[in-house]
Amino acid sequence: MAKPKLTFICQACGAVYTRWQGKCDACGEWNTIVEENASGGIGGGPQRGARRKGRPSALLPLSGEIEEAPRVVTGIAEFDRATGGGIVRGSAILIGGDPGIGKSTLLMQAAAALSRRGHRVVYVSGEEAVAQVRLRAQRLAAADTAVELLAETNVEDILATLAEARRPDLVIVDSIQTLWSDAAEAAPGTVTQVRTAAQLMIRFAKASGAAVILVGHVTKDGQIAGPRVVEHMVDAVLYFEGEGGHHFRILRTVKNRFGPTDEIGVFEMGGEGLREVANPSELFLGERNAKAPGAAVFAGMEGTRPVLVEIQALVAPSALGTPRRAVVGWDQPRLAMVLAVLDAHCGVRLSQHDVYLNVAGGFRISEPAADLAVAAALVSSLSGAPLPPDCVYFGEISLSGAVRPVAHAAQRLKEAEKLGFSRSVLPAASADLPKSHAMRVGEVEALPDLVAQVAGGSIPRPEEGA
């Protein structure tokens, strides 16, 4: 018999190496490369029986009937929004997230909601004992629903169980990292096992028409394979996120073959599980102190929905040779860029100052449209002049100091107006602005205009020197 071939696989990204090394060249993670016996698995190479001769398939034209993907809707609006309008039958969805963030809670609530609507849902728990799952179901008031529980980790046994009765509408596997298949020889939790198990579950989804949700823990230390190793195999990838110490959670779509990406669903974790947050802006603006300098409200967009958040800046003279730059909820390089533009084009010198930037409520912003709000907050903090409390900011700053228009200006303004804001500062030449607007719109063409507006005369113009 041939010696089993040993390979070294990165548990974070799945890159394969022939020998061990400390750092993965593919994803840059340390200590994630683990020796695995990668023989076997699906399509496990020539040793798996005699080669079969290929069979020709029909070639099809691009035009033809298109069927609208049939979906099952949970009725939990924030969940349905993130999945693109419901879970598509026969599709496989991966829900990733840090341990303890609330994945099992979310899925138990979704399972209960679907079950109440008459769908058959099977919850496969490989992680927790039956009693634990029941306890959670009780706490979530889901214990009286017809959700069926299966405490099993062997994929072949799970598939045999599912084949016994009527086809379920949804199968939830919590979590994919606990599954193991006879087809792979590696230990449970390794890349080979996780991939094989995921592949078998996805094949079951396609063949039976049942939707499958796979839960994947995000891992930092590489002891078990991360969800990234199955991202390419599934139809949709959602991440469940939250900031430590905050109660709200965001379900973010990063891939969806049947709907838009960049969508978010917002929830709040409470004593009886997750509660939907229909208006996230109210939550993120909840505890603002509008009179303090250094706080600017940013009118942002998350997918198709506007979200207002407060950006807080603190600028203070530094005692250190290299001043501190600390950012929570935004991009560090982006902050460096805004600081450089303020310095070069507006005479705002912050090279002797510590700069702290925080997005309130633990929210994360990835849009460049936040540049203008960040600049306003920084200048406000430096000059000690508070910004008008009823004003929102958005716009992208270019390296030349010009303020560039961003998409969805009308939607951002509408949301701000709805929440009682009456002024806005935005890029000149913004497209799609409504003609008549109750809001006072202040257009800025370049960053120095904003600085003059915020700080008045307290910061000298660049030509006067500083």
Binding site for Mg ion (CB under 5 A): 104
Position 96 contacts ligand TYD (CB under 6 A): no
Position 102 contacts ligand TYD (CB under 6 A): yes
103 in a labelled binding site: yes
Residue closer to ligand TYD by CB (options 225, 308) is: 225
Position 134 contacts ligand TYD (CB under 6 A): no
235 in a labelled binding site: no
Residue ranges in 88-190 assigned as alpha helix (H): 103-116, 130-139, 155-164
Q: Binding segment for ligand TYD among 132-140, 294-302, 322-330, 438-446 (CB under 6 A)?
A: 132-140
Angle of CA points 368, 373, 374, to nearest 5°:
80
CA distance 406 to 185: 52
Among 91, 105, 199, 381, binds ligand TYD (CB under 6 A): 105
414 in a labelled binding site: no
**Measured between alpha carbons, how far is residue 286 from residues 292, 296, 340 in Å?**
15, 14, 32
Residue closer to ligand TYD by CB (options 204, 267) is: 267
Cβ–Cβ contacts within 10 Å for residue 99, how many? 10
Strand order in the sheet with 295-302: 325-328, 353-359, 305-317, 295-302, 391-393, 423-427, 440-444
Tokens of 441: 């719109």
Q: Residue 289 in 3-state DSSP?
A: coil
Position 104 contacts ligand TYD (CB under 6 A): yes
Q: Residue 180 in 3-state DSSP?
A: strand
Residue closer to ligand TYD by CB (options 97, 188) is: 97
98 in a labelled binding site: yes
CA distance 222 to 10: 8
CB of 366 to Mg ion, least distance (A): 27
Residue closer to Mg ion by CB (options 174, 185) is: 174
With CB cut-offs between 5 and 8 Å by kind, which of ligand TYD, Mg ion, none does residue 89 bind? none
Residue closer to Mg ion by CB (options 104, 190) is: 104
Residue closer to ligand TYD by CB (options 105, 281) is: 105
With CB cut-offs between 5 and 8 Å by kind, which of ligand TYD, Mg ion, none does residue 404 bind? none
Residue closer to ligand TYD by CB (options 35, 243) is: 243
Q: Binding segment for ligand TYD among 39-47, 62-70, 134-142, 452-460 (CB under 6 A)?
A: 134-142
Residue 269: name the closest of 245, 237, 302 by CA: 245
CB of 362 to ligand TYD, least distance (A): 16
CA distance 101 to 251: 11
Q: Binding segment for ligand TYD among 60-68, 103-111, 145-153, 357-365 (CB under 6 A)?
A: 103-111
Q: Binding segment for ligand TYD among 99-107, 183-191, 223-231, 337-345 (CB under 6 A)?
A: 99-107
With CB cut-offs between 5 and 8 Å by kind, which of Mg ion, ligand TYD, none does residue 125 bind? none
CB of 244 to ligand TYD, least distance (A): 11
Name the closest residue to Mg ion (Cβ).
104
102 in a labelled binding site: yes
Residue closer to Mg ion by CB (options 108, 397) is: 108
CB of 37 to Mg ion, least distance (A): 28
Q: Tell which phi-psi region holds residue 450, choosing left (phi > 0), alpha (psi between -120 and 50) or beta.
A: alpha
Q: Are strands 170-174 and 273-276 parallel, antiparallel or unpaired?
A: unpaired
Of 243-302, which residues contact ligand TYD (CB under 6 A)? Answer: 269, 271-273
CB of 115 to ligand TYD, least distance (A): 17
100 in a labelled binding site: yes
Among 12, 80, 121, 136, binds ligand TYD (CB under 6 A): 136
Question: By the 8 A CB rule, do 83 and 77 touch?
Answer: no
**Measured between alpha carbons, how far is residue 358 from residues 295, 337, 377 in Å?**
9, 16, 10
CB of 360 to ligand TYD, least distance (A): 22
Residue closer to ligand TYD by CB (options 271, 457) is: 271
Position 157 contacts ligand TYD (CB under 6 A): no
Q: How far does Cα 112 stand from its chain's mean position? A: 24
Please report the DSSP string for 438-460 in residue order: SSEEEEESBHHHHHHHHHTTSS-
**Measured between alpha carbons, how far is residue 303 from residues 235, 262, 378, 392, 431 in Å?**
19, 5, 27, 19, 19
Strand order in the sheet with 170-174: 148-150, 121-125, 170-174, 211-217, 92-97, 236-241, 248-256, 264-270, 273-276
Position 380 contacts ligand TYD (CB under 6 A): no
Question: By the 8 A CB rule, do 361 and 286 touch?
Answer: yes
371 in a labelled binding site: no
Among 15, 24, 76, 101, binds ligand TYD (CB under 6 A): 101
Residue 200: name the closest of 41, 391, 76, 45 by CA: 41
Q: Where does this chain bind ligand TYD (CB under 6 A)?
A: 97, 99-105, 136, 139-140, 269, 271-273
Q: Which residues carry a binding-site annotation for ATP?
A: 97-104
